[in-house]
A and B are shown apart, each in its own frame.
Chain A
Amino acid sequence: MSDHTHGEGQNGNAVPAPRDTGGEVIRVRKGMFGANNGGDTSGYGGLIRTVTLPGASSRPYGGWFDEVADELEGALEEQDLLPENAIEKTVVDRDELTFHIAREHLLQVARTLRDDPALRFELCTGVSGVHFPGDKGRELHAVYHLRSLTHGRLIRLEVSAPDSDPHIPSLVEVYPTNDWHEREAYDFFGLIFDGHPALTRIMMPDDWQGFPQRKDYPLGGIAVEYKGAQIPAPDQRRSYS
């Protein structure tokens, strides 16, 4: 459904980026309606579907995407860092460019993106945490969007960390604006940003237990009572997805 938009729009060049087969499997969906305890009479109880995020793209990415990728790789090589060590994969999807960065090199990559005159991504629009419990070993993702006002471009950096070791280097020294954003991601996902000046809870009360926007944290709603009936909280209801 989304294929016909690849490489169009702001990118100008209408060449769709070729896609390697095999994306990132984040989840395997079983059955339907969330009825896993045998109560499903729909006939779809045995349904198994894997959920895959768009996989790595190969060159050419199209438009200015190649230019940014070239410049980034060149700049990293100048710093004696092999690009293939830092950039795990590059995804072009829906006209957006995503670099998956190895977390140990995140700080250097971000500094390069900010300082290199040909890249110049001055504005970081913060970090958004995403939790994929089914993506074993890479459960927690931190997604950064960087905007270049000089060149009018927008790219995405994605870093992942396992649930057992949720450490990601802090970008506050490169982008001070990430101060609160990283505190928020810590508060909601338990991502620990090493090097953050004061990584404390920001939204929830200081003594809150758990990280509420992780997928394994319940929504926490209560059943709603009506005359003679009760409707369970939204996360307890039968679901279709």
Chain B
Amino acid sequence: MGLEEKLPSGFVLTTVEQAAGWVRKASVFPATFGLACCAIEMMTTGAGRYDLARFGMEVFRGSPRQADLMIVAGRVSQKMAPVLRQVYDQMPNPKWVISMGVCASSGGMFNNYAIVQGVDHIVPVDIYLPGCPPRPEMLLDAILKLHQKIQDGKLGVNAEEAAREAEEAALKALPLIEMKGLLR
């Protein structure tokens, strides 16, 4: 007794993009990629109380070749960076990256020789998730936002067009240092 029962003549028109996005967002397989403190919160999210299974994501894949979501959970050291990139390269397309926690997003409080100052130096990031570490609810929120992003994903020429637009917008964007306003 859902939407499907109310459809006129039993069929519905949509685009391939939307259908593909809808299917993809409901079957995201995260890779088992824990680094530091955030990995513990990621495991907590998978465990009983927060229960990632509600979003069809409880199966963390041990092999990156079976995964399409990498949750970079924790600080990325200079020594780990090549490994992380290799894991990312091993994942089949389409793939997404959540940068979980401030250390992965920007280096956080570890502004020093050992830590990569933001995992976006190595892999493209879809969602930045702040917090040190983020609560499981925050990770769930990031995952839901990522689901929406996957749902809205483009295919083929539309994808190329979207990428081009994004690049143009980024080139035109005002650098942070030239922005005015509150210091943040």
A interface, CB within 8 angstroms of B: 203-205, 208, 212, 217-222, 224-230, 233-234
- Contact of A234 (CB < 8 Å), options: B111, B178, B182, B184: B111
Interface of A is mostly: loop
Number of residues on chain B facing chain A (CB within 8 A): 17
Task: State in angstroms the CA–CA spacing of A113 and B184 once bound together.
Answer: 57
Q: List 29 A-B contacts (CB under 8 A).
A: A204-B78, A204-B79, A204-B114, A205-B78, A217-B113, A218-B113, A219-B111, A219-B113, A220-B112, A220-B113, A220-B114, A222-B111, A225-B176, A225-B177, A226-B176, A226-B183, A226-B184, A227-B176, A227-B177, A227-B179, A227-B182, A227-B183, A228-B177, A228-B178, A228-B180, A228-B181, A228-B183, A230-B177, A234-B111
* Besides A227-B179, A227-B180, A228-B177, 12 new A-B residue pairs in contact (Cβ under 8 A), listed by A number: A203-B79, A204-B78, A204-B79, A205-B79, A217-B113, A218-B113, A219-B111, A228-B179, A228-B180, A228-B181, A230-B177, A234-B111
Across the A-B interface, how many residue pairs have beta carbons closer than 8 Å?
48
User: In the complex the two chains form, is B114's CB within 8 Å of A212's CB?
Assistant: yes
CB-CB under 8 A from A234, the residues of chain B are: 111
Is B99 interfacial (CB 8 A cutoff)? Answer: no
CB distance from A86 to the nearest CB of B (A): 37
B interface, CB within 8 angstroms of A: 78-79, 107, 111-114, 117, 176-184
